[in-house]
Amino acid sequence: MLQAVRRLSTSATMKQTVQCAELRFPVPWGEVAARAWGPQEGRPVLCLHGWADNAGSFNRLAPLLPAEWRVVCVDFPGHGRSSHRPPGEFYSFTTYLADLCWVTRALQWKRFSIIGHSMGGNVGGLFSAVFPELVDSLVILDSLGFLPTAQEEMAGIVRKGVEELVQFEAERERGRREKVYSYDSALKRLQAANPSLSEESVAVLLERGSTAVEGGVVFNRDYRINLTNIVRITLEQSLDMQARIQARVLLVMAEEGILRLYRQRPQQAEMLQQLIKGYGDKLSEVSVVEVPGDHHVHLNSPETVAPLITAFLNSGTPVTPPSAKL
């Protein structure tokens, strides 16, 4: 069962003041950390961050959502304040599904909405396909809900991931040490790795993404999240999974986000079009919109997407903003 709330705080916006709380959920190897916004009895909404980010990714968006919603933003294992997986284990989208089961069962949620950014959107898409009865609405932010891999690349990817993990664990046994950064150096490193982030957004992510130690700070994330993900699915498998989703879907694409990246690569551009077409062909209630901004638009400019998300989740009809191009 859910452990006690450890810290309460408030976040002020022009619209409202929303109380948030730090939560901890027990899992077999440790705990999954989360930040929750709104009343416990409110409409359940689960927020899933992108690769190498953390629950702070939603710190600026959550207060702009309806105050009566219960918005729980998790740190995926190996990210933020959540425990790292045991030595020798991989990180993959499919193992994150089990983490979400532990979290939502601890919350006693029988049916809920998901808002997922980037990797979180892909995990949300998979979760909605595998557990369709649990998800009523799915909002995907600058992602496609699935990350297809060409069949001919599979063997090489699996080998690469296995070799990387074996090498990493060998280095850990020899006493691999965590690098200590000054706070300013950590900010600069995070900014360099994520050029789409504003300076304010970098500071927001670093709050949960680092821990103060003697001489500076260390990054909280498990280095193994950087290793090659060995669990992949093809475009055909992705389309099959997509067809199993029963939730209403809102796909929000940023003009300067993955759309721009995919359009520059013919093979990925084809996958993009097939997945977007698949949502329209196979699901009954789908909105696909394009908004100004970059990959982290929900964090850099939350006011751009908050009204779309609110309108979509509060209505039974598709949402198309004036700026929509898709």
Looking at 57, 83, 118, 201, which residue is catalytic? 118
Both structure tokens of 71: 């918005």
Alpha carbons within 13 angstroms on the beta-carbon side of residue 228 total: 18
Please, what is the end-to-end C-alpha distance for the chain in angstroms?
Answer: 43
Nearest C-alpha neighbor of 23 from the set 13, 12, 39, 8: 8
- Per DSSP, helices labelled H in the chain are 93-107, 119-130, 154-173, 183-193, 199-209, 235-243, 258-263, 266-282, 297-300, 302-314
Spell out the alpha helix ranges (H) of 89-153. 93-107, 119-130
CA atoms in the 13 A half-sphere facing the CB of 98: 11
The question of whether 118 is a catalytic residue gets the answer yes
Catalytic residues: 118
